Structure 1
């Protein structure tokens, strides 16, 4: 962890987060003076359930996967935080003075700037920063509502079909990774994929899935049927 970025990283920060240029000169100086810079390898846990929130992250490079974890080890992915985005869990914990209620893990080598809580509180007095936080807060809430709708009202085979679409004809992934994406378990996903293969929708290989019938997958994702009604 360091307290000052390289000139290149500082330029990337400004490019990712234009709101910083809208801050008053004293506020921007305070932010940059107090910020803590971190380079974190892929697979590192940034925060976990019931852990105190130390600050507000700005992701310059990389990606952070935020998930809700069950006692049995299963996870439900909530969202990802990429460059230029913010973490709603961190925002809500800082605003509500609560501990984390989810887990954040880096998906790639990640560089981020962490704004300590006292400075985050001070920055909320800046209208541009406050509007930025609450605008992205609203966007994340909308994403989470969509996730709740999918989990509550769509069957797992529909969600799996939707997940496979849009990734190209050949998808290099594991059944475990797909299960993690869906908040399910590998055995169930493997069984569903075998069913997809038997219907001629996909061809399964070692850590590879080839899409054979994208139209059928889209139909399955939409109404639960791979064949025309």
Structure 2
């Protein structure tokens, strides 16, 4: 675990903090599509991503999901941190976008490191800032972009997160993430294909206009 930790976070944290994370953190893995945190769970630790990507979702009163943002290697989820420190139930769902490995940091150490290590404090504050910016961007996208523009942004973001221009999500999965219907997504994908921004293949979508 230490070499992966060094590679992902060595440029952020001092040697002593890396050694403590390696000692007290627990290594976890999740397959693509696996739920890591469920809405309503008591969160007992904060994930530090070593490999892969996780998508963070909210759910409305009807059970429909809305994608808030992705987190990648070297990131953490500030909303998870908030739940940990406040000892409240999770208001988000975290799902592995790809096969993922991460270190779960226990609550007690998070508080201790905030007082002990400047690099940890900076990391936490920067994580809050980054996630807040991404949530504001998600709000702006919903409020100000047409649905086809929202869909194209979603496809570009997904391709960049996966580092692959080919997206293997079904039309229904995309509809869930975007809080709309499969029929709408299928119609808009056809429109984007006619505009030569994407190519619809038998089992995937190729993003041309990255």
| TM-score bucket (shorter structure) | 0.7 to 0.9
Equivalent pairs counted in the alignment come to: 202
5+ residue gaps, structure 1, are 1-8, 219-229
Is contact 1:94–1:117 with CA below 8 Å preserved after alignment? Answer: yes
Asked if the contact 1:19/1:129 (under 8 Å) is kept, the reply is no
Between the aligned partners of 1:169 and 1:11, the Cα distance in structure 2 is: 29
- Cα distance in 2, alignment partners of residues 47 and 210 from structure 1: 30
1:47 match = 37
Deviations 1:105-145 (A, max 9, x none): 11222211111101111111122211111012101111111
So what's the TM-score if we normalise by structure 2? 0.81
Deviations 1:54-77 (A, max 9, x none): 101111112211111234342111
After the TM superposition, list the runs of 4 or more consecutive aligned residues in structure 1 that deviate by more than 6 angstroms: none
Please list every run of 5 or more consecutive structure 2 residues that lacks an aligned counterpart in the other structure.
none
The reply on whether 1:142 has 2:122 as its aligned counterpart is no
Alignment of 1:11 with 2:3, yes or no, is: yes
2:188 alignment partner in structure 1: 192
What is the aligned-residue RMSD (CA, Å)?
Answer: 2.8
Could you say which structure has the larger radius of gyration?
Answer: 1
Structure 1 range deviating more: 169-178 or 150-159: 169-178
1:28 Cα offset (Å): 4.9
Alignment of 1:60 with 2:60, yes or no, is no
Q: Secondary structure at the match of 2:33?
A: coil
Alignment pair present for 1:182 and 2:178: yes
